[in-house]
Amino acid sequence: MEPPNRLPRPIRPLERPASYVSRAFVAASYPLRGIYYFLRHPAYYPLFLSRLLPLSIISFLVYMILFTFAFLPQFAFLAIFHGWGAWINAVVLVLGEGLVIIQGLFEGFFVDECRVDVFDATLLDNGLDGLVTPHRLLFLDAPNSVKKLGKPTTSAVYQPWSLIQIVELIVFLPLNLIPYVGTPAFIIITGARLGTFAHYRWFELRGLTKKERKAEIRSRMWDYTWFGTIAMILELIPILSFFFLLTSTTGAALWTAKLEQKARGPPAPTSSSSAPAATAGDSQEHDPDEPPPPYVDNPV
C-alpha cells in the first residue's frame, strides 16, 4: 500500500519538478510579501523616512546623469543588433549601471544599519525575541518592535559589502547586448548572488561559522536564486530602490520566521490529564486551621 502523501504512480515523475517550481514560487513571493508587511506596519516608516531624502537625491542624480548621457549612445549601439526593441535592453543596461554606482555610494555605508533594524524588528514581531536578545539591547516596555531595538552588543551586519558582487554586476552587464535572453539572464545571474545574502543576518544571529553558512546556502541555493531575482528586479526601479531594499529585508525576515517555525516544530501541548488529578489530590488536603471532615464509615 502506497503512503497517502505520494502522488499516483503515473504522475510520480512530475513530483520532483513540481517541488522545484513550488519552492521557486514561495521564495520569489517573499520580497512581495515584504512590501505588504512593511506598508501594514507604520512603526517601520521612520526607518525609511529618516534616510529617504539624502538617498533619493543621490539616486535621482545618478540616474538623471546616466539617462542623459549614457542611454542614447547605448540605445543606438544596441539598435544595430536588436532593432527598435533595443530600448528594453538599453533601459536595463542603464539601470544596472546605476545600481552598481548607487551600491558603491551608499548601500554598504548608509543603508545596512537600517536593514539590520528592519530585519530584527520583523523577527521581534514574529516572536523570535530569543534570536535577537543575545545580540542587542531590547527595551521590552516600548510600544512597538522598532522602539524596542537598542544598541547592538555584537557585530550587526545585514549584507556585507561584497567586491565580488560589484564586479559580477559589471562583468555581466554586457549580457544585455544579447537579444531576447540577455536581459533575463543578467537579472537571474546577478539575482542569484544577491539572494545568497538574504539570510546573512540570520546566520550571524545563530552564530554559524563560515563553513556552516556555506552549507546552509547550498541547501537553499535554488530558493535564494528566485528570492534574489525578484529582489533584483525591484531594486532596479529608479528612486524606489532604497524602499525596496527595506521591503526585501522584511521579506527575508518573514522567510526566516517561517524557517524557524518549521525547525522548532509546533509548540508542545500542555498536559491536561495531570491537571484534574492534581485538583482531585488537592481536594483531599485540608487547611490545618479548618475542622476535620465528618467521619464516614465506609469499610470498602
**Residue 274 predicted with pLDDT over 60:** no
The residues pairing with 136 across neighbouring beta strands, listed in sequence order, are 152
Strands (E), 129-199: 136-138, 149-152
| Tens digits of residue pLDDT in 100-124 | 788 777 655 668 899 999 999 999 9
C-alpha cell recorded at residue 78: 544596441
Please tell me whether the overall predicted TM-score, pTM, comes out greater than 0.85 for this model: no
pLDDT at res. 3:
52
| Tens digits of residue pLDDT in 5-34 | 555 666 767 778 889 999 999 999 999 999
| Tens digits of residue pLDDT in 186-224 | 999 999 999 999 999 999 999 999 999 999 999 999 999
Q: Among 28, 37, 10, which residue's Cα sits nearest to residue 145?
A: 37
35-44, 80-89, 268-277: range with lowest mean pLDDT: 268-277
**What is the C-alpha separation between 131 and 124, in angstroms, rounded?**
9
> In 72-102, which positions are buried (b, 16+ CB within 10 angstroms) versus exposed (e)?
eebbeebeeebeeebeebbbbbbbbbbbbbb
DSSP assignment of 203-246: HHHHT--HHHHHHHHHHTHHHHHHHHHHHHHHHTSTTTHHHHHH
- Across the range 224-233, mean pLDDT stands at 96
Q: Of all helices (H) and strands (E), which one includes residue 212?
A: helix 210-219
284 falls in which pLDDT band (50, 70, 90)? very low
**What is the C-alpha separation between 68 and 25, in angstroms, rounded?**
37
pLDDT at res. 7:
58
